[in-house]
C-alpha cells in the first residue's frame, strides 16, 4: 500500500487539490446508513480542513464515528479521481474562521462574494472545524493507474494501464 503522503504529492493529485474546490465527503450517519455530501475544503499539505455549523447532522455523526472517505474528481477524459480515507477530528470555534472563508471563496463567484461573506458573518456565531488526516490514498488517472479490478484484468491480458 502506498504512503498517503506520497500519493497526495503526485502532480495530478496536487492539481486536483488545487483546482477542485468541492470534495465529496462520505461518512456513516447516526442511523448507520451511508452519507455522501459535497463540501468545500482546504488542503494544508497534510490535512483536509472544512467547517460546518454546530447543529449540522454530520457533526453528531462524525463525533460518533470519525471514519470518512473523500473523493475529489473531474470527469475527464480521462477521468481523474483522488480517493482518500481517514479520521475526522472536530473542534468548535467562535465566529467564522478565516479558513472557512478561504474555502468558500474557491467556489463562490466574485460578484456574489461580498453578500455571501456579510450573510455568513451575521449568521454563524460558532462553527465546527473538521480536520481529516489521510490514512490511505489512491489516485486513479486512467493513464498510469486504474481501479484495482481493471488493473488486475489488464495484467491478466498482459497489458499495462498506459497501453490503452
Convert the pLDDT of each residue in 88-122 to its tens digit. Answer: 999 999 999 999 999 999 999 999 999 999 999 99
Residues 143-147: contacts with CB under 8 Å, at least 24 apart: 143/78
Q: What pLDDT sits at residue 81?
A: 96
Res. 129: pLDDT tops 90: yes
Longest dimension (CA), the chain: 61
Around Cβ 97, how many Cβ atoms within 10 Å? Answer: 16
Residue 31 DSSP code: T
What pLDDT shows up at residue 2? 75
pLDDT of residue 156: 81
Domain carrying residue 113: 4-163
What was the pLDDT predicted at 160? Answer: 65
Check residue 122 and report its DSSP letter.
H
Query: What nine digits make up the cell of 31?
Result: 442511523
How many domains is the chain partitioned into structurally? Answer: 1
Of 5-19, 38-52, 94-108, 148-162, where does mean pLDDT reach its minimum?
148-162
pLDDT above 70 as % of the chain: 96
Q: What is the mean pLDDT of residues 132-149?
A: 87
| CA angle 42–47–51, rounded 5-degree value | 45
Q: With the C-alpha atoms ordered 10, 12, 15, 19, is the resulting torsion angle positive or negative?
A: negative
For the stretch 72-91, pLDDT in tens is 999 988 899 999 999 999 99
pLDDT digits (tens, 9 = 90+) for 146-157: 777 777 777 788
Half-sphere exposure of 58 (CA within 13 A, CB side): 22
Q: How many CA atoms lie within 13 A of 149 on its CB side?
A: 0
Residue 162 predicted with pLDDT over 60? no
> Which residues, at least 6 apart from 96, have a Cβ–Cβ distance to it below 8 Å?
120, 121, 124, 127
> What is the average pLDDT score of the chain?
93
- CATH of residue 120's domain is 2.30.110.10
Amino acid at each position: 500500500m502506498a504512503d498517503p503522503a506520497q500519493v497526495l504529492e503526485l502532480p495530478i493529485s496536487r492539481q486536483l487539490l488545487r483546482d477542485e474546490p468541492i470534495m465529496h465527503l462520505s461518512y456513516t450517519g447516526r442511523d448507520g446508513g451511508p452519507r455522501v455530501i459535497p463540501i468545500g475544503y482546504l488542503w494544508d499539505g497534510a490535512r483536509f480542513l472544512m467547517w460546518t455549523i454546530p447543529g449540522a447532522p454530520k457533526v453528531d455523526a462524525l463525533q460518533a464515528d470519525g471514519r470518512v472517505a473523500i473523493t475529489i474528481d473531474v470527469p475527464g477524459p480521462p477521468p481523474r479521481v483522488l480517493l482518500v480515507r481517514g479520521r475526522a477530528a472536530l473542534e468548535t470555534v467562535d465566529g467564522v474562521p478565516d479558513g472557512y472563508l478561504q474555502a468558500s471563496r474557491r467556489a463562490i463567484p466574485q460578484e456574489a462574494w461580498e453578500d455571501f461573506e456579510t450573510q455568513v458573518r451575521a449568521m454563524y456565531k460558532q462553527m465546527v472545524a473538521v480536520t481529516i488526516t489521510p490514512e490511505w490514498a489512491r489516485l486513479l488517472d486512467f493513464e498510469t493507474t486504474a481501479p484495482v479490478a481493471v488493473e488486475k484484468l489488464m495484467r491478466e491480458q498482459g497489458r499495462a494501464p498506459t497501453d490503452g
